[in-house]
Copies of this chain bind each other. A is one copy, B any other.
Amino acid sequence: MPKIVDHDQRRSEIVEAFLTVVARAGLAAATSRAIAAELGIGTGALWHYFDGFDEVAAGAYRRITERTNDRIAVATAGLRGLDAVYAMLREILPLTKETLDEAHVVVGFWGRLAANATIEEKQTDLGEYWGGLLRRHFAEAVADGELDPSIPVADVLDVLFAICIGQQVNAVMASPMVDPGRQLAMIDHCLRPWRR
């Protein structure tokens, strides 16, 4: 069994090297050659661990999901209600260098997915996980008198998710909509009708 552990660890190192190169030099620079150089191995060695670049991109997408969920756990620790909602969305929206870099990797992956339906993806599960967290924090916000109990939570969640996804693309397009204040204003706008 130790060989399997090594295999998984090497795959993880390759994905981390990919994200390191992206953070330093951008997605365009994160070629298989650059990833191999980052690890001090030959380019061909990458393909002992991945069947192609689509698989590396999918691994990076999953790793970004894990990172985001780790950041959400830290950022929302001890918070409830709307404070927790905003803390969570601030880790998902592309507001910083880190999350803007992630947006490029994520949109790059979605582009590969558009052209290759056989790539594994877990976005639906992510929606369920984030949806569960947000439902809990909305319920706290209602209980604490921050939100009106009439808030249509399912509709608000759909709109918030669509915004979070759309803003990844806006980050890549360097749209004026990626201005951090404007991004948070969209969230404010969606919640305002039910604020107390």
Contact = CB atoms under 8 A, between A and B. Distances in A.
Main SS at interface, chain A: helix
A11 interface: no
* Copies of this protein in the complex: 2
Given A127-B175, A159-B190, A169 B28 contact: no
A107 interface: yes
Interface stretch (A12-20, A43-51, A150-158): A150-158
Contact of A158 (B28, B108, B161, B186): B186
Interface size class of A (residues with CB under 8 A): 35 or more
A28 B123 contact: no
Contacts of A127: 175-177
A155 B186 contact: yes
A108 B169 CA distance: 11
